[in-house]
Amino acid sequence: MKSEDVSKYVLRDPSSGIYRYYRRVPTEVSHLDKRAHVKKSLKTKNHKDALERAESVHKASEAFWRALLEGKSAVGAVEEYDAAVRAAQSMGFTYKPVGEVSQIDIAELERRFKIAEQNFDISRTIADGVLGTAPEPRPHISDVWKLYTHHKEAGRTGMSPNQLAETSK
């Protein structure tokens, strides 16, 4: 899948004025991802903020589809956990550990179970992400630097050039 302009997937709801990310699932992964569309509220009425938020949803969806095409859920504990979090986001949920999932209202719990059931044979990562059953990673001390740099870069997502310059000082 090629890199695309995210702005074409950002649509404004005419009744509420809130922007949402709306994209058709690419045909090359439609046999692996049974959803017809990816729909995710960006929870803002500001177009600039919506574009910034859509970027992370777009990246998560692309990474998820790439992993499906490669026939793998994830490699390594940290990557597996990250993949489950991205899978939950791409399905329209916030990743929550299983203890928190058990405390949510019954309607959302039913939605999560339905999506997990539909995707269990396709990708265990989707089921783990939606139900919160992905094992939390226990990284080795040798992975600390890699995790630190990954975490630091994640904190810079959506920053303007001026903000990036400020954090580099």
Residue 143 CB contacts under 8 Å (≥ 6 apart), including other chains: 78
Separation CA 78–CA 22 (nearest Å):
28
Q: Specify if 41 maps to a domain.
A: yes
Q: Specify if 165 maps to a domain.
A: no
Q: Give the domain extent around 140.
A: 73-159
Cα-to-chain-centroid distance, residue 3 = 17
Q: Domain check: are 95 and 154 in the same one?
A: yes
Within 10 A of 133 (CB to CB), how many other CB atoms are there?
14
Q: Domain check: are 119 and 137 in the same one?
A: yes
Q: Domain check: are 90 and 135 in the same one?
A: yes
Asked if 86 and 129 touch (Cβ cutoff 8 Å), the reply is yes
> Among 52, 71, 90, where does a domain finish?
71
Helix H or strand E encompassing 61: helix 47-69
Q: Specify if 168 maps to a domain.
A: no
Q: Domain check: are 86 and 57 in the same one?
A: no
Sequential pLDDT tens for the chain (169 residues): 455 789 999 999 999 999 999 999 988 888 777 788 999 999 999 999 999 999 988 988 887 887 777 665 444 667 778 888 888 888 888 888 888 888 889 999 999 999 888 888 777 888 888 999 888 877 667 767 777 777 677 667 777 778 777 776 6
> Among 42, 71, 100, where does a domain finish?
71
Give the chain's domain count.
2
Asked if 60 and 86 touch (Cβ cutoff 8 Å), the reply is yes
Q: Specify if 164 maps to a domain.
A: no
Q: Give the largest Cα separation in the chain, rounded.
A: 52
